[in-house]
Amino acid sequence: MPPLSPCILRLALDTPLAIEFDYRWQPQSGDDPMPRVGQLAQVPFGRREVIGLIVAIQAGSDYAPDKIRDITAIRYQLPPLSAHWIALSRFAADYYQRPLGEVVLPCLPKNLRALKSTALDSALKKIDALGIPPQAATTAAPDLNTDQQAAVDAITAVSDYRVSLLFGVTGSGKTEVYLRSAEKILERERQQGGHAQILILVPEINLTPQLENSVRARFPGLHVASLHSQLSEGERTRSWISAHLGQASIVLGTRLAVLASMPHLKLIVIDEEHDPSYKQQEGLRYSARDLAIWRARDLDIPVVLGSATPSMESWHHADSGRYRKLVLAQRAAAQAVLPKIALIDMERIKASDGLAPPLIAAIRERLARGEQSLLFLNRRGYAPVVNCDACGWISNCQRCTAFMVLHKPERRLRCHHCSLELRIPSSCPTCGNVDLQPLGRGTQRIEEYLHVLFPEARVLRIDADSTRKKGSAQAAFETVHRGEVDILLGTQMVAKGHDFQRLTLVGVINPDTALFSHDYRAGERLFAQLMQVAGRAGRAASSAEMSQSEVLVQTRYAQHPLYRALLTHDFPGFASATLEERRSAGLPPFVFQALLRAESKTLAKALEFLQQARDLLPHQGIVMNDPVPMTMTRVAGVERAQLLLESTSRSALQSFLKSWMQALRKQPGRLRWTLEVDPIDI
Ligand SMILES: [Zn+2]
Ligand SMILES: [Zn+2]
């Protein structure tokens, strides 16, 4: 073998500098193999040592030889990341206007980026020791109905790139379509002597245990890895490596799993594709759904987007023929029918303590029959604000443009936007009045009232406050599944995905605020949320002794078109009306947007920065709106403003952003700013 010659390695490092870095490599001993692109390496950076990713190997460098430092070590023990994975990261970096290093390194588990490789080595050893998992008792696959069978056939008919939008009413058995398609693809690859890996993304961590159990039961003898932010570092490292080594056949995860390294990836599934949680809201502000689609196209594999209420983007693409629409029109369980939806007109019917008499009567009926009820109120705490009738004092947060929320059990006022917490004042801070009033209702207050109304009932509240401890949400949901709860009450946490077998009533309390939001997507989100929570009712095959399942919505706007569409479960009607509005108003998906946000101690400085940014470069074909304060202007004492860019051409916007970012990064000043491409909160 000829002696290895020194070379230059180009690395991506986790720094805000939008460049890559050259280092010199020379063999330390005769045994050192040549480094490869995709390997991790330890290098000196300033006075520190850091881990970087090798993105190129070159004979020489543009830098002077004395400026180039030596590589400290190569992590040979970890096989290199693939060219596809690096291309995916590079696309994400370019599209979302971030340096490559800020994409590739933060998405690796910490143990891989640690300077000591002991955790990595021990994780690799543990993975080595993993054999085939013991054969668990298999659950028999349920029979598919005609729609489900047609969907599975369509998804698995081809092995090349195609986006399928699986539009299925709640309870229509979308998960079964995913599992059956996965099974078919795994089997096909095995017969051809190859390996397949399947990636299934879900919006909510709390849904992973439920899905993980059914996947494990259905695929005994296969490795299933899960990837989400609540795993311990050790668990995350092992899951990540087993996906990277191709050992995990199925990877389940939340949005971050879209960046998992999976060398044999053959199918991607995105469940509840419309869910806003697929959009990362800090750092690299990516859309996991959009990256998944890019990834499928680059690998030339099928991708499935599943939803009962698809995003307007996906619905539009299905309408125009870019995506193929597969429809599941019926509920999967025999005889299970969609719940009956009715509105309670709160303009006419007076409610004491937030619950209208028809809803109370419906709950009472369920209690008598031993069935479960679910009450949905998307507002946690006891009351959203506390007020003094005498002088008009109101519990504003001193640091945010927001109210302090009353949390009665904890005896605290809490700001949900910064960490500020205060004891409940015993009298008005302004006038001394001792009779302070809670205004409005949150989940804690409804819970209190339920105990008064139904002292015998077992009431369980599930929201971010009741589930702070790790694992407590899962434990709470299990008590509902075991039938130990009569009335379940909660925020959007209870709306998603769960399959409650004895639930026949859903009550929706005060959803109206979203109708008047500044955010043009609020209606779309509300509709999805209501359809989803309504879908928790009546999922089991109805038996003679169970009530007809129903959904009661308390609203003061009973004539609103959104509620009219909801009454008939008419998503297509709602979607085409919404898309028509978007088209005439020039909103996404008919235009492309980017949002520059600036933060400062004073609003004037933030606005001034945005004004300068606006005038920095000529911007033909790009609409630059005026800089404006954000709706929630102040958070934790910081003033925030934003500048919205729009264009009907995605490529025009992208190429403008590239040069604009370069110019902005050269601007002096210490003001914090961020750019978001395809923002979902405006
Ligand atoms: Zn007062
Ligand atoms: Zn605050």
Q: How far is the CA of 397 from the centre of ligand 2 (A)?
A: 5
- What is the structure's pLDDT at 41? 96
Report CA torsion sign: 59, 62, 67, 68.
Answer: negative
* Same topology between domain 7-106 and domain 592-677: no
**What is the domain partition of the chain in residue ranges?**
7-106, 146-328, 340-380+442-572, 592-677
The second-level CATH assignment, the architecture, of 7-106 is: 3-Layer(aba) Sandwich (3.40)
List per-block mean pLDDT (blocks of 10 residues) for the chain, which spans 682 residues: 77 87 87 91 95 94 90 94 97 95 93 90 80 61 93 95 95 93 95 94 84 87 91 92 95 96 98 95 93 98 97 97 95 80 94 92 95 95 95 95 94 93 94 94 96 97 90 89 94 84 92 89 94 85 71 96 94 96 96 97 96 92 95 95 97 96 86 94 80
Identify the nearest ligand to the CA of 403 by its number.
2
146-328 to CATH, choices 3.40.50.300, 3.30.70.1400, 1.10.3720.10, 3.30.450.20: 3.40.50.300
Strands 592-600 and 503-508: unpaired
Q: How far is the CA of 351 from the centre of ligand 1 (A)?
A: 28
Report the alpha-carbon distance of residue 102 to residue 12 in Å, rounded.
8
Q: Are 161 and 320 in contact (CB under 8 A)?
A: no
pTM of the model: 0.93
Q: How far is the CA of 421 from the centre of ligand 2 (A)?
A: 9
Q: Most distant CA pair in the chain: distance in Å?
A: 90
What strands lie across the sheet with 405-407, from one edge to the other?
405-407, 412-414, 421-423
- What is the structure's pLDDT at 131? 61
Ion ligand 1: residues, CB within 5 A, are 388, 390-391, 393, 428, 430-431, 433
Amino acid in position 316 = H
Q: Where are the beta strands (DSSP E) in 39-126?
A: 40-45, 48-58, 69-70, 73-74
- What is the structure's pLDDT at 431? 96
Q: How far is the CA of 400 from the centre of ligand 2 (A)?
A: 4
- What is the structure's pLDDT at 331? 84
As given in the structure block, the two tokens for residue 477 are: 């949901």
- What is the structure's pLDDT at 162? 97
- What is the structure's pLDDT at 138? 65
Q: Fold for 592-677, please state it.
A: TATA-Binding Protein (3.30.310)
Identify the nearest ligand to the CA of 634 by its number.
2
- What is the structure's pLDDT at 210? 79
The domain 340-380+442-572 having CATH identifier 3.40.50.300: the answer here is yes
Q: How far is the CA of 354 from the centre of ligand 1 (A)?
A: 25
The residue with tokens 């490795």 is: 223
